[in-house]
Amino acid sequence: MFTGIITGVGRIAAIHDLGTSSSYGKRLSIEVPDGYLDDVGLGDSIALNGACMTVTTLAPERGQFTIDISAESLDKTAGLTDEGSRINLEKALRASDRLGGHIVSGHVDGIGHVSFFAPVGESWELRVVAPLALARFLAYKGSITINGVSLTVNSVSDIAEGAEVSINLIPHTVENTSLGGLKAGSKVNLEIDTVARYVERMLQAGMLTPSLTSSTSPKDTSK
């Protein structure tokens, strides 16, 4: 579990094939800021651009760790196959941590693309087109995770290919995440708000499932 508050920006230092065909995944070596691995152990979860991954080896003296990513995960995510690219990092949430963003699972729901990214006043406007399957989960002032960053939707417009959301990025976010390197056409990992996911499920099942408040036990006829 994560919060969408980025704890560091790393770099994909190397990519190694785990097999000889496209059905195999890859091993990624991730370079991190000084001291980032001080409290990380083997098997810990770290989100890379919003995708939850497991630490498989550690090399704190070189400021690197590795993860193994399956072919399926590679097919369902973006930005994890470009050696040298900067990526957002977030360590898994601890019970004692502050929930500064929103509840994020680290499971990418779909890939969107940037339609507009430019400075507006002191901030930046980022517009992202989400695929049709995710459009119904996006709402004004709702939460969305883009490349692992918890963000608030300023506006949402339904279009033929899905929905275009507009987001305001303050300078701190641009400077301290990899989002500052985005441009029109860039692919991004999207995760919808967990609450929206459950609301949709309840609406789908609402007509078929008895209410939890209704009594289903037989009446007491002993009196």
Structure confidence at residue 155 (pLDDT): 97
Percent of the chain, pLDDT > 70? Answer: 92
| Whether the predicted pLDDT of 44 surpasses 80 | yes
The stretch 81-106 carries a mean pLDDT of: 93
Structure confidence at residue 207 (pLDDT): 55
Q: What is the pTM of this model?
A: 0.90
The stretch 80-103 carries a mean pLDDT of: 93
| Whether the predicted pLDDT of 204 surpasses 90 | no
Confidence of residue 108 (pLDDT cuts 50, 70, 90): very high
The stretch 137-166 carries a mean pLDDT of: 97
List pLDDT tens digits, range 59-86.
999 999 999 999 999 999 999 999 999 9
Pick 146 or 194 by higher pLDDT: 146
Average pLDDT, the chain: 92
Structure confidence at residue 125 (pLDDT): 98
Pick 133 or 204 by higher pLDDT: 133
Confidence of residue 198 (pLDDT cuts 50, 70, 90): confident
Confidence of residue 209 (pLDDT cuts 50, 70, 90): low
Confidence of residue 139 (pLDDT cuts 50, 70, 90): very high
Confidence of residue 201 (pLDDT cuts 50, 70, 90): confident
Angle at 103 between CA 160 and CA 195, to 5 degrees: 55
